[in-house]
Amino acid sequence: MMKYVYLLLLAVLFQSCVPSQLLFKNIPGLGDFKNFPLETLPKAEKPFQFESLGYNHLPHVDEWVLETEMGHFDSVEEFLRKTGTTSFMVVRNDTILYENYFNGYLMDKPAIVFSVTKSIVTSLLAQAIADGHIEDLSVPAYEYIPELKVEGKQDITLEHLVHMTSGLDFEDEEDLVRLTQAYWSKDVNGFAKKVKLEHEPGTHFAYKSVDTQLLSICIAEATGVKLSDYLQEKIWSPLGMEYDAYFTLDRPDGAERAFGGLAMCTRDLAKVARLFLNEGYWGKEQLIPQSYVQELGKREVAREGWWGYKFGWWMDSYIDRNLNEIRDYYAAGYRGQYIHVNPDNNLIIIRQGKKRDGVKWAAVMSKLGRVLDEASDKGHSFTVDEMNGKYEAADGSILKLKHNPDTGNWVVNDAKHGLYWAPFYQECPMSLTHRKHDYMIMFSQTGNEIEGLHLDMFEDRPTYYRKISDDSPSNEHQ
């Protein structure tokens, strides 16, 4: 790991003079807001506070942690501490069920939430539309950013930016050097404006921070105020925050790092989650359009873009039923910062940390919500034999699926997508995952029968295969 970090630092250093700071400040960390110019979002004089049950035990980790290879933990606290967690909070019905801090952090110590910032910024877009500053999502981005009025880029709309389908030549996980340059840039807006176009807008999903940065420029231009001021007016002040928060700037009096520059405390993150849990209402006041928040609970595998990302929030949580029946969603940031919202159970879960440590936190928190909801319908539990078999796509291509009892994984043979006895693992009751490429298979059921599956390669929309046979493929290539 350290070898990789050093190579990254050297690559960045030779490509740009700006990120040479990394040699001294290391890779991005939770306390980075101390290294940048700041806009302060002040706490409320009379803050809102959740009710609290005092110290309360959560179910044992064996009931809700998915990663069996992680070993045994004697307690929830041991699991959280050893996985680099700095805070963990569970709120149900406006009452704190669990709140604890680890690894040097306390409730009044803010930390950068990285890309959770995106989920907050996108809500400002919805409010700017509600306020009449922006007509709708179909508005071309060049109306606010003249530099985008060039061939190809002129077709980028606000909807493309908010759903990460702009087609710009950037992808966070594949562009670590350029992402680091953006992080340390003293002109982050200028950086985002210069990214070239790779795909036709609206045809390709790729998670990229430059889309949110460009979106923030549009919001600021449309409203006529700084992004942090609009956030302060529309969300921060009405929520009655308990602690000061900070928005990092690229330079004094410069632009906010809208893609990941907010530093906040855990209890105030929970208030943001509460706003979404209540469909944009804070008491009797509508702070975010209800229709916008309601859309977050809908999963549509046939929509343009990718079903698992919408309006800056993620949908791919714990899958234990048909995809369109699941309503929880989450915001996520680098090193494992999470806001999890579960409308069905009126539940909020916040996790902040120094690292993810290999834990699939989104699914873990989603499953914890299911465990805490004793009255939830667990549904039919399908057997290996019920999932095994042959599946056919609309064009006649065949996908074969078989469980391998020796390894505990599944093998998939699908010539159409170049999968030849590819290993998939069951991490949720109704889905399988290819860990190297993060491909997913999501089963679809009717009553107590598997009727088909969606194969999601995260390129275009998933391919649907209906089940045609229970016959399993041969073991000879496993």
Domains of the chain and CATH, by start: 2-45+110-372 (3.40.710.10), 384-469 (2.40.128.50)
pLDDT higher than threshold 70 for residue 324 = yes
Angle at 257 between CA 255 and CA 260, to 5 degrees: 170
Specify whether the CB–CB gap between 111 and 30 falls below 8 A: yes
Q: Collapsing DSSP states into helix, strand and coil, what is residue 7? A: helix
Greater confidence (445 vs 27) lies with 445
The predicted pLDDT at position 70 comes to 67
Angle at 126 between CA 145 and CA 326, to 5 degrees: 125
Using pLDDT thresholds of 50, 70 and 90, give the confidence band for residue 380.
confident
The predicted pLDDT at position 446 comes to 94
pLDDT in tens, 44-68: 999 999 999 877 789 999 999 986 5
Specify whether the CB–CB gap between 19 and 35 falls below 8 A: no
Average pLDDT of span 247-275: 98
Neighbouring C-beta atoms of residue 108, cutoff 10 Å: 12
Quote the tokens at residue 466: 């209906």
pLDDT in tens, 362-376: 999 999 999 998 766
Average pLDDT of span 177-204: 94
The predicted pLDDT at position 471 comes to 74
For the chain, give the mean pLDDT.
Answer: 90
The predicted pLDDT at position 17 comes to 42
pLDDT higher than threshold 50 for residue 157 = yes
The predicted pLDDT at position 473 comes to 60
The predicted pLDDT at position 56 comes to 75
Quote the tokens at residue 35: 């290294």
CA nearest neighbour of 475 among 422, 411, 381, 392: 411
- Secondary structure (DSSP) of 395-449: TS-EEEEEE-TTTS-EEEEEGGGTEEEEEEEEEETTEEEETTTTEEEEEEEETTE
CA nearest neighbour of 183 among 122, 249, 265: 249
pLDDT higher than threshold 80 for residue 18 = no
pLDDT higher than threshold 50 for residue 1 = no
Mean pLDDT lowest among 107-111, 181-185, 304-308, 328-332 = 304-308
Specify whether the CB–CB gap between 253 and 327 falls below 8 A: no
pLDDT in tens, 81-139: 999 999 999 999 999 999 999 999 999 999 999 999 999 999 999 999 999 999 999 99
Neighbouring C-beta atoms of residue 55, cutoff 10 Å: 8
Using pLDDT thresholds of 50, 70 and 90, give the confidence band for residue 288.
very high
Quick one: 312 exposed, middle or buried, by C-beta within 10 A (0-12, 13-18, 19+)?
Answer: buried
pLDDT higher than threshold 70 for residue 4 = no
Residue matched to tokens 């759903």: 163
Q: For the chain, what percent of residues have pLDDT higher than 90?
A: 79
pLDDT higher than threshold 70 for residue 476 = no
Quote the tokens at residue 287: 């702070």
Mean pLDDT lowest among 32-36, 52-56, 387-391 = 52-56
